Chain A
């Protein structure tokens, strides 16, 4: 059996999610091809060709694919599925957008956001905001799977797969791209960062969130996250949100500041290697998952932390 992985990228660079999805794909079959759908993606395809274990890289290019329009992506993927037994994509906003369409068009059940490949038919996935894990066996001849990338290790580089162009499909004639508003940041991307500093509702205002959380994140070279409560209150933009309704992260170090630890937030960060919680309420549920807890008001604790980091050479 052969498996197709649909690459995650921004038309310029391949994202690490692709490498992690290739790892999941290799658990299904040794024959893994990567499809890059986009526009002007020669550079991305060259990066994908270097992933160890990849047999072949396919590129499909059109204007609609360059904007990641779901109808266009599924239109490019479905005809290719004659030659594959499974297609995998990372469970990013793009992956979630097109994968179920591919499943519907193939008349199979999609398998969303898998955490583990038990065998080529059987997968573990989170349900109820990660409060339960469901092991499902698929009886479909062709499988359509999205992968929670943080649950898999990235494959190494060192491959040299050939690249070939394929038919981009019919595009999306009834869907028009209007505009993108992508937040530009020098900080690492939240889902891929080694360190994440997150702020909660205790910040009290957007100004305070910027003043407290961002300098600490920059000192550590970390990405900035936020709890849903902080996002709902307007202290931080939605794409900062860590949790079941936002992003799921698993960095080496996760620092939660003024976050109580609602179930829905924990679902988004509990797989981090080391968790630090700073909260003035010693009974906050966040301390039940924290490796290191500091019961203190962030107003004094964060400046002290900045000083201690500076003293430690950070």
Chain B
């Protein structure tokens, strides 16, 4: 069974995003970019399924600028077989991304689509659910455990207050949460091997998808800063202040 893993190139997890002074967005010039951490978890899970023999092939797809090839290459070094880049300099919205991925899924016919639950730039947490709805495939979001069988997948999900386990008929869409696994570091031989793996480059037009843009960004601003308060000497002073000054206990 083929597993399709969409991945996104985003600002590195350890870099603090800075708002541009003209309020048009976040400054990404000369900022370190990496694979979205949740996408990395999805790639790791797909590669593990392949290593266990449950998946026959892992195909990675990214939608983004030409540099997104590096993100795909990272996934190939982790163990994916083949990559596909849909090259665009536009910043497509979740709906457009979901439509493109649905077109790719129809062409590639995977048994399972494994992807991150959200990208850490837009924080929408939407594409997996939208893709599932567009394809009419079952969905399981926020996965912390994935057990793949021939015709079904059993997924344990992180929900408010605990866990929920679902069984989905394949093909299905599963989105990865933080605790699904710890992604590996690619070894040097595997990084070298990844350089010889194929990445096809296409455009949104090849899939008949046009960016419509349903949302217009009016402005991007910095959140209000909290001001540091006072230091107290001991616990007794703290309790007094909480009681009399703040009035919260």
Contact = CB atoms under 8 A, between A and B. Distances in A.
Contacts of B129: 70, 96-101, 104
B217 A135 contact: yes
A54 to B, nearest CB: 23
Interface string B82-117: 000000000001110010000000000000000000
Contact of B158 (A93, A112, A136, A180): A93
Contact of B124 (A112, A273, A274): A112
Given A104-B129, A132-B19, A132-B222, A289 B249 contact: no
A195 B248 contact: yes
A174 B221 contact: no
A179 B238 CA distance: 45
A128 to B, nearest CB: 4
Contacts of B240: 312
Nearest to A189: B161
Contacts of B127: 100
A79 B120 CA distance: 32
A12 interface: no
Interface string B153-187: 01001111111111111001000001100000000
Interface of B is mostly: mixed
Contacts of B219: 134-135
Contacts of A98: 129
A100 B228 contact: no
Contacts of A270: 223, 226
A98 B132 CA distance: 11
Given A74-B133, A127-B26, A293-B230, A103 B95 contact: yes
Contacts of A96: 125, 129, 141
Given A126-B123, A131-B223, A191-B160, A104 B165 contact: no
A71 interface: yes
Contacts, number: 260
A199 interface: no
Interface string B216-249: 1111111100101111101110111111001011
A137 B215 contact: yes
Nearest to A313: B243
Contacts of A102: 133
Contacts of A107: 95
Contacts of B238: 276, 292, 294, 305, 308
A239 B162 CA distance: 6
A69 B126 CA distance: 16
B123 A294 contact: no
A313 B135 CA distance: 60
A173 B234 CA distance: 60
B195 to A, nearest CB: 32
A263 B214 CA distance: 30
A192 B183 CA distance: 33
A2 interface: no
B60 interface: no
Nearest to A131: B17
B11 interface: yes
Contact of A122 (B130, B144, B169, B218): B218
A252 interface: yes
Nearest to B239: A308
A113 interface: yes
Contact of B123 (A93, A112, A274): A112
Given A276-B238, A294-B238, A289 B221 contact: no
B70 interface: no
A273 B248 contact: yes
Contacts of B213: 139
Contacts of B142: 93, 97
A94 B159 contact: yes
B134 interface: yes
B71 interface: no
A129 interface: yes
Can you list the 10 inter-chain pairs with the closest CB atoms, starting with the nearest? A109-B214, A291-B229, A104-B130, A304-B235, A128-B17, A100-B126, A100-B129, A101-B133, A182-B162, A104-B133
24 contacts: A71-B138, A96-B125, A97-B139, A100-B125, A101-B130, A104-B131, A104-B133, A110-B95, A110-B130, A112-B126, A128-B123, A131-B16, A132-B19, A175-B166, A176-B167, A179-B164, A181-B164, A191-B160, A239-B161, A273-B248, A289-B226, A295-B231, A305-B235, A311-B236
